[in-house]
Amino acid sequence: MQQDLLGGVRGDRRWRTFGELLADAAARFGDRPAVVDGDRTLSYRELGDEVRRTAGAMLAHGVGIGDRVAVWAPNSWRWIVAALGAQSVGAALVPLNTRYKGPEVAHILHRARPRVLVVADGFLGNDHLGMLAAEDVSVPCTVRLGGARDGALGWDGFLAESVTPDEVMTQVDGDCISDVLFTSGTTGRPKGVLTTHAQNLRGYFDFSRLAGFRDGDRYAIVSPFFHAFGYKAGWLSALMHGMTIYPHAVLDAEVLLDQIDRERIEVLPGPPTLYATLLADPRLRERDLSSLRLAITGAASVPAVLIRRVLAELGFERVTTCYGMTEGCALATISRPDDPVEVLTRASGRALPGIEVAVVDDDGNPVPHGGLGEVRVRGYNVMQGYLDATAETALKVDVEGWLHTGDIGRMDDDGNLSVTDRKGDMFVVGGFNAYPAEIEATLAEHPGVREVAVIGTPDERLGEVGAAFVIPSAAGAPSEDELITWARERLANFKVPRRVVVVDRLPRNATGKVLKNELRTMIATGA
């Protein structure tokens, strides 16, 4: 069997589907702990059994190949089981952001049309079922991770009706859509990104080997499972190496540090916010963190001083940096084991095997090394397209197969990519993408707002946060607290602006487009 440059069998040749990956892991790792979630521990064999039961229940409730199953819940062992149960019978997973409010989720459900929706009992004070009750949403089967309520089945009740899944599972192949991850792009309109089992298995086998995963590692996953970082670079990659997964519903520094000490955690990926939070904990030095070996970060610019502190004060042996976007399976570049700290502090690594990365000018011509241009990506990782959006897909992926990321970056002579800015206006809040167009549309609904423009501004803890520039309507200028409350009632917290600036006008160019660079300058200079 052909070997790849990493010294192992390529992921797309070892397993065709996620179901085959799990069956292989259950056979190879047996009684080894697969997931430790509070007081519940599942071995690899038990995880396989739970997924098989769930797959049978999915079939019994009308799920089949080509259907979709949505999960709206925080990280837990049941999240993994629900996802793999659906994917094992050929359904595509639709992860939903746990911070979203009813209208945001309703819009995605209308687009995705899932056969089954799995929801949490409640999270961060939000009642998921209650939020959806106020929306015009109809899903054939809703399952609550708890007891039955308001027409939703309880988890045990859902599993009570089941059929044997074997025949259907054998019909699922690598070309089946494994997931539909919704991303908003610069227009702010959510779009569902379609990727397959084969794409993700190949990519994350390579990713996990280059990142430094080892057989049997203990892996704390704080990044949310609804995001590719917690899902694909998280538990999916962990299954490939027989690692033990420790899911966290939220980032609680004290809880996480205690677990690292007690369980001897070795792998801890996350956005820069995670490491900054741990470093700021007043009891940091009371814990034994000597087990920590591998940190993996991306999703935002990583300050050089933070990488040095992660190595020196948290004691990691290695920091891996990476770059990708949802439309490319969240894969593009990754640093290599022998990269010096000086490279890690300025770059996100080199292209993964089988993936091309280019930096080009506005005409699509390559930019000389060191010059700025748009980052484009081509390879097996590029999405199959946006869900029911052929025209939008054509704007994102050109006829030559290049994915236009909209990010601005430069490449050095060794192929290391540095992403320096965004061609669009998206900003990253604590690892979550926030899109100004969506926030602006929500603020514009307030009767006191005539016009509004939103930008990302630097924040020491979260990397970036939103700032809104508002031209008031004839009704008078709303207060900052009033507008922030308005947004918080309608949007996930990470999208809510932290600052509101009332202005008489917005700077515009000759065509009427708001000059957001001038707004950023106003914030930076205090003008």
CATH of the domain at 118: 3.40.50.980
The residue among 177, 197, 217 that closes a domain is: 197
Q: Is residue 419 part of a domain?
A: no
Q: Please give the backbone phi and psi of residue 296, each rounded to the nearest 5 degrees, phi first.
A: -130, 130
CA distance 484 to 494: 12
Q: Is residue 520 part of a domain?
A: yes
pLDDT of residue 445: 85
Q: Is residue 295 part of a domain?
A: no
Q: Is residue 235 part of a domain?
A: no
Q: What share of the chain is helix, strand, coil (3-state, %, to 5)?
A: 35, 25, 40
Q: Which residues of 434-448 are buried (b: 16+ CB within 10 A; e: fewer)?
A: bbbbbbbebbeebeb
Q: Is residue 376 part of a domain?
A: no
Q: State how far the alpha carbon of 6 is from the alpha carbons of 49, 207, 208, 319, 358, in Å.
A: 32, 10, 10, 19, 23
Q: Please give the backbone phi and psi of residue 105, each rounded to the nearest 5 degrees, phi first.
A: -70, -40
The residue among 180, 197, 214 that closes a domain is: 197
Q: How many helices (H) and strands (E) does the chain have?
A: 19, 25
How does DSSP assign 404-451, residue by residue?
Answer: EEEEEEEE-TT--EEEEEESS--EEETTEEE-HHHHHHHHHTSTTEEE
Q: State how far the alpha carbon of 447 is from the alpha carbons of 407, 473, 482, 503, in Å.
A: 35, 7, 11, 16
Residues, the chain: 527
Instruction: Output the six-digit token pair for 318.
Output: 């290695």
Judged by DSSP in three states, 165 sits in: coil
Q: Is residue 239 part of a domain?
A: no
Q: Please give the backbone phi and psi of residue 246, each rounded to the nearest 5 degrees, phi first.
A: -115, 95
Q: Is residue 213 part of a domain?
A: no
How does DSSP assign 299-365, residue by residue?
Answer: SS---HHHHHHHHHTS--SEEEEEE--GGGTT-SEE--TT--HHHHTT---EEPTTEEEEEE-TTSP
Q: Which residues of the chain are under the pLDDT cut of 70?
A: 1-13, 184-189, 299-303, 421-422, 424, 509-513, 527
The residue among 147, 166, 197 that closes a domain is: 197
Q: Please give the backbone phi and psi of residue 119, each rounded to the nearest 5 degrees, phi first.
A: -125, 155
- pTM here is 0.84
Domains in the chain, number: 2
pLDDT of residue 300: 53
Domain that includes residue 454, residue range: 427-525
Q: Is residue 189 part of a domain?
A: yes
CA distance 209 to 192: 28
